[in-house]
Structures are given as C-alpha cells and as structure tokens.
Structure 1
C-alpha cells in the first residue's frame, strides 16, 4: 500500500537527489576537468570531442530541470542514454563494483534505476511544473 500523504514527498526527494547528482557531475566536468579536458577525454574514448560539451549541457540543464520539477518524467528518460554511454565506454569494463580501478558500473546502474523511478513516479511534491492532477504545494491528488 502506498501512503498517498507522503509518496509525493518521496518522489520529490528522489527527483532532487538525482538532479543534484547530475549537477555535481556537470560541475566536475566544468570546473575540475574543464570543458576542453572533457572533450579530450571523449576523444580518447573514440567519441567526438563535441559530445563532451553536449553531455555537460545535458547534465546541467537536466539536473536543474529535475531539481526544479520541470518535465521531470521526460528529462529523466532523456538522461538515461548518457549513463548507458558511461557504462558502455568507461565503467562496464571495470567490472561491477564502483570501487574497482576506473570505477565499476554499479553506481551508474543504480542512478539509471533512480531515473526510471522518477519517470514512473512523476514530479512529486513542490514541482514548478507539477504532473497534471497534482497540486503544486503538496503534490497530493
């Protein structure tokens, strides 16, 4: 049984947490690795360097949209390919556990599960653009 009084807040908490992870990783690419360094890393993987800039933009805009609760379902689904790409190009070969050298894919897979949950749940409480049929302030039906 789902508690309809608290479930919208759980959805919002998940939405904000996953959005925060995307902003943190975008910040890492912007301020630590730098955009040029990120592009160079993508090229070292055999990918176009310009894709690095696209990923930075998607992580920044997508993270902000999730935190704000704007089209959270669509944004969550749109961000999944970035994480699948991270598994295929970097983390998959490192094995399952994230503490393996080069980081395994367990964290990235859990992150995908979080995005799927956001897509299934909707915006939750306190969204700027709430899912139709919910109230903006409480997120209850």
Structure 2
C-alpha cells in the first residue's frame, strides 16, 4: 500500500507542477504564457528580463513535475520543485507570514515537505524507472 500511496502523491503533485509549467511556457490551462508571466514577474520586482525568468520557472515546473510524476530521477524533480517553492516564498509569500489564508507560505512549505519526503523515501515500486 505504501507504493500506491507514493504513486498518488507523485501523480497529484507532479501533474500539478506540469500544469503550472505549461501555463507559464505555453499559456495552457488558463495560463498567461511567458510574455505576460514575465510582465507580472517584473511588476513584483524580478528584473531584468521577466520573460526569461518566466521561461526558467516554467521549465523547472514542467521538467520537475514530469520527473516527479514518473518517478525517474525523483530527487532531481523534487529539487526543481523545491527551488520554485523557495523562490515563491522569498518573492511573494514570505512577507505575508505563515498562513495561506493571508497569502502566506504555508502551502509552499507543505509542498516542499512532501516532495522532499518522497525524494528521501524513493518513488516506490510504481515508478517508471526503479532506482
């Protein structure tokens, strides 16, 4: 049952990050694409070249999510996700305190804990590639 639990965690979190990456990179799933995401990043002080940072974030989310989902190089997928979540805490949520209801970093920290935990445990037997 532990392997099935790890699969559920990998699918939900990994595919969510794939979706977020696709929003930034391609404008899919209601996303704004790299140009508009870049403008938003610049509006919150991430300069210069917000579009470049939007593409980098999108690649980290898409690739990290894919690796995490399939359970191949799970540690690398987790690391890419963790970098994005730390960045979100530093640039957006940290100033709002802990609780998500106040725009805080609670959810980001939960995601970091989950992907880090899976990276330490391993992807489970239902991974595309076994370590």
Structure 1 and Structure 2 fold alike (TM over 0.5): yes
- Check conservation: 2:66, 2:77, Cα contact below 8 A: no
Give the superposed CA RMSD: 1.6
What is the number of residues matched between the two proteins? 124
What is the aligned partner in structure 2 of residue 10 from structure 1?
5
- Check conservation: 1:71, 1:123, Cα contact below 8 A: no
Q: Which has the higher helix share?
A: 2
Quote how far apart the aligned CAs of 1:79 are.
2.1
Quote how far apart the aligned CAs of 1:38 are.
0.9
* Equivalent residue in structure 1 for 2:97, among 72, 95, 98: 95
User: What are the equivalent positions in structure 2 for 1:32-47 lying under 5 Å apart?
Assistant: 32-47=31-46
What is the aligned partner in structure 1 of residue 108 from structure 2?
108
2:114 is the alignment partner of 1:119: no
Query: 1:43-77 CA distances to partner (integer Å, 9 max, x unpaired)?
Result: 22322411111111111121112111111122212
Unaligned runs of at least 5 residues, structure 1 = 1-5, 132-141
How far apart, in 1, do the equivalents of 2:113 and 2:81 lie?
A: 12
Unaligned runs of at least 5 residues, structure 2 = none
Structure 1 stretch displaced more, 26-35 or 108-117: 26-35
Give me the TM-score of the superposition, normalised by structure 1: 0.79
Give me the TM-score of the superposition, normalised by structure 2: 0.84
* Largest Rg, 1 or 2: 1
- Check conservation: 1:15, 1:72, Cα contact below 8 A: no
